């Protein structure tokens, strides 16, 4: 999970012409809220199956943004073995430098 400075929740709490990078308190607060929401979805709503064990770490990127790495160990009946099963739950978007849209 990676923090996004363009999250609407952060932008709507800025005062006048304030810049996001000058409000680390907002960035951390909303990252933590979204992290808790992700944990709720993973462990209570079981969006990827029942979790037997997990660990996670929160780090700062070089430009100062938060991100989290999760390691999930699923119960045997929910383990994923084929690549098409991964495709159902994992996705990535890459920004096209020329058009500023996702490819």
Tens of pLDDT, residue by residue over 42-61, are 999 998 899 999 999 999 88
Domain span at 50: 8-87
- 96 domain residue, yes or no: no
Q: What is the DSSP letter of 12?
A: T
- 3 domain residue, yes or no: no
Tens of pLDDT, residue by residue over 70-97, are 999 999 999 888 888 888 877 777 777 7
In which element (H, E) is residue 71 found? strand 66-74
- 29 domain residue, yes or no: yes
> Measured between alpha carbons, how far is 103 from 88 in angstroms, rounded to an integer?
18
- 101 domain residue, yes or no: no
In which element (H, E) is residue 32 found? helix 24-43
Average pLDDT, whole number, for the chain?
A: 87
Q: What is the DSSP letter of 53?
A: E
- 74 domain residue, yes or no: yes
Model pTM above 0.85? no
| Count of domains forming the chain | 1
- 55 domain residue, yes or no: yes
**Buried residues in 21-32 as b, exposed as e (16+ CB within 10 A):** eebeebbeebbe
């Amino acid at each position: 999970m990676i923090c996004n400075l363009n999250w609407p929740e952060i932008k709507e709490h800025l005062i006048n012409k304030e810049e996001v990078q000058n409000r680390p308190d907002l960035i951390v607060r909303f990252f933590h809220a979204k992290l808790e929401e992700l944990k709720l979805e993973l462990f209570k709503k079981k969006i990827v199956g029942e979790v037997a064990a997990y660990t996670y770490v929160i780090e700062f990127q070089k430009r100062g943004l938060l991100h989290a790495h999760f390691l999930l160990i699923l119960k045997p009946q929910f383990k994923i073995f084929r690549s098409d099963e991964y495709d159902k739950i994992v996705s990535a978007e890459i920004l096209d430098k020329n058009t500023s849209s996702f490819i």
